[in-house]
Structure 1
Amino acid sequence: MSQDTVQMVAEAPAFRPLSDFAGTLSQRVYASLKEAILDLSLRPGAILRKGDVCEALGVSRSPVSEAVARLASEALVDIVPQAGTFVARLSLDEVREGAFLREALELAAVEEVARAITEEQLVELRRNLRLQEGLVADGDIRGFYAADAGFHELLLSFTGHRRLPGLSRTAWVHVDRARRLLLPEPGRVEETLAEHRAILAALEARDPEAARAATRAHLRQVVTRLERLGTERPELFA
């Protein structure tokens, strides 16, 4: 692996403090590392030195090793014998699979929600969209990304199926990481906001077919853009 494609932990932004997370020590280390990987503070291909992580988070080696093993099981890090541990490069196969699963879940959800959505639920979605609009106006990409995720979580939660948001997050994790490379593209956040407005309009009309169509169009453009990115930035992909 060439030095120009490797980002050392020491060069990455500081990890979020463990006090910001809940759970056991190893769970909090895992959450902090996973966040850094998903938000691309740790770039695909970066070397992950356990000693540096221990120093940055102020913990011993044991919880870091447990966290790294868990991340490896999720294909977010690669442990290479005699070479080291690396942040996994992006995989278009995993992106396509995750997008397929997310689409199956979310299309079923939005169709069900469109038939029975309440005015109170519509108010929640409108508030979320107003937040998105403010974040776009401020140029806050990180904040917009969080509000974007919140919009989809609301839709899934409105089904009343408690496990659905978690299943969707698990399916989307590799897409989630890759698509963060797309939002800084000029005009992309505005396009995403317009796609969310189209979904909301279909829900306000209580039109299941229109809601499915708007959601499908929104989700599928991500894979199309990421496939193009794989050609333009091959060093980020496996």
Structure 2
Amino acid sequence: MANTTNISVDTLTDIDQLDGPLSQRVYTALRDAILDMKLVPGTVLRKAAICEQFGVSRSPVADALTRLSGDGLVDVVPQSATRVTRFSLDEIREECFLRDAVEVAAVKRVAATRTHDQILQLKRNVHLQKLLVEDEDFHGFFEADEAFHKMLLEFTGFRSVAAIAGQLALQLRRVRMLVLPKAGRPAETLAEHAAILDAITDQDPQAAAKAMRYHLAQLINRIEPLERQHPDFFC
């Protein structure tokens, strides 16, 4: 089931457009490509090709790959190959479990404590989602979807919740890139987000929790069939 195809890195972000030390910029460009499924699970990452693409030495590339390995996004086999990590259904189910625990608790808190400004921000985001669905801009919708959930976590008032939750759900972010373009799913997701927003607006924590739990449950129901549709992406 090995996918040894080397996908060209010429579509990666230009690191000159990024901020930070050289190894950080290489890391960010590769991480974004993996999370956006431009580099699919099983892809071989060759240091020489990456060095040539970015015009850098091997040291920042090696540092970036080490960090990506720590994130669980690449598998580094010494004296062999470095590959983009394949999906594991067990890990995805665990991430779904953790996401449910965090986001249901978060939305209950936000529904009880939300401010007028927070409601306005959420409404603007949902309106943007609606426009993106109408334009069939799936990548833009994905980013707006991510922003909606991040806002809810940030509105809890706990500074580290959004960052920790994001780091715990890296595999989910990747696999969701396969789910959202499915016919009808963006519109369904929009309706589910609107239901969550309505409950928050009504200051109804229990309704908000119910709406969020239903929304999150739809994801795993759509992920499991992907193992049959894309067997090379799974281990």
The answer as to whether partners of 1:9 and 1:52 remain within 8 angstroms in 2 is no
**Structure 1: distance between partners of 2:95 and 2:217:** 11
Segments of 5+ residues of structure 1 without an aligned counterpart are: none
Residues 71-101 of structure 1, C-alpha deviations (whole Å, 9 max, x = no match): 1122211122443111111111111111111
The residue number in structure 1 matching 2:21 is 24
The residue number in structure 2 matching 1:228 is 225
**Structure 2: distance between partners of 1:20 and 1:163:** 27
Q: TM-score scaled by structure 1?
A: 0.94
**Structure 1: distance between partners of 2:180 and 2:150:** 19
The residue number in structure 2 matching 1:38 is 35
**Structure 1: distance between partners of 2:200 and 2:45:** 44
**Structure 2: distance between partners of 1:155 and 1:137:** 24
Listed as ranges, the matches of 1:181-200 within 5 Å are: 181-200=178-197
Segments of 5+ residues of structure 2 without an aligned counterpart are: none
Amino acid at match of 2:7: V
The residue number in structure 2 matching 1:7 is 5
**Structure 1: distance between partners of 2:109 and 2:199:** 12
The residue number in structure 1 matching 2:95 is 98
Q: Equivalent residue of 2:179, what SS? A: coil
Listed as ranges, the matches of 1:85-234 within 5 Å are: 85-234=82-231
The answer as to whether partners of 2:15 and 2:26 remain within 8 angstroms in 1 is yes
The answer as to whether partners of 1:132 and 1:147 remain within 8 angstroms in 2 is yes
Determine what percentage of the aligned residue pairs are the same residue. 47
Which of structure 1's runs of 4+ aligned residues deviate more than 6 A?
Answer: none
| Matched positions, count | 235
Deviates more, 1:164-173 or 1:95-104: 95-104
**Structure 2: distance between partners of 1:20 and 1:14:** 14
TM-superposed CA distance for 1:24, in Å, is 1.4
